[in-house]
Amino acid sequence: GQGLFENTVVPFGGNLVFATYRDVSDAEKERTRLVWLSEHDFLTGMPNRAKLQESLANSVAEARQSKNLMAFVFIDIDYFKKVNDAHGHDVGDILLVNFVKRIRHSLPERAFVARIAGDEFAILLNELHNEAQLNDLISEVFSAMKRPFVYGGIEMSITCSAGCVLTDGSESVDELMRIADKAMYEAKHQGRARFKIERALKAT
């Protein structure tokens, strides 16, 4: 393919110039790789918390302007520690990779999914019309988790919990995270294996 070249021209007395060419495609590739690593989770390849914060801020601004709704969701695996304790961290890691794959496959292409920490993930959904649509999308994720995860003769059936907030962009990023976190706590408190939706909309 085409390399990337840096071209330096130095005047060399009289009408002569001295030109040097340096191939910087490797340096550029390395920089791109470092940026990618700083914004993604190494295990799952998903965007990380830093990238999530940035994308969430953009989504909020977009919702505020477009008059569309958006949703922010915290989701995690119930009793994930038991998987690590019973089968070891390697199997736990494989479960996380496949858990996030199932989330991705059950949502529209444009959905943004990030890994925050451990078994905690976040989902950003833009251009929503109403709460029923959000409910359908998250139900889709939850039904995708009903099939057991099978790995090397180990069969794991899991459930997950989620806290969701539907907003028109009228709340700050921190406030949305706080509301989703509280909704997640309530879903856990009500017995796990469920999701709870909160609204953060301007009073009309």
Question: Quick one: what percent of the chain has pLDDT higher than 90?
Answer: 79
Residue 142 near residue 100 (C-beta atoms within 8 A): no
Note the pLDDT tens digit of each residue in 99-142. 999 999 999 999 999 999 999 999 999 999 999 999 999 999 99
**pLDDT value at 65 more than 80:** yes
The answer, yes or no, to whether residue 7 has pLDDT greater than 80, is no
Tokens of 83: 């998987």
What's at 138, amino acid-wise? I
For residues 60 and 52, give the distance between their C-alpha atoms in angstroms, rounded to a whole number: 12
pLDDT in tens, 173-199: 999 999 999 999 999 999 999 999 999
Please check the confidence at residue 41 and state whether its pLDDT lies above 90.
yes
Residue 23's pLDDT is what? 72
Give the model's confidence band at 27: pLDDT under 50 very low, under 70 low, under 90 confident, else very high: confident
The pLDDT assigned to 20 comes to: 65
| Average pLDDT taken over every residue of the chain | 91
- Tokens 């801020």 belong to which residue? 57
**CB–CB of 126/63 below 8 Å?**
yes
> For residues 80 and 1, which has the higher predicted lDDT (pLDDT)?
80
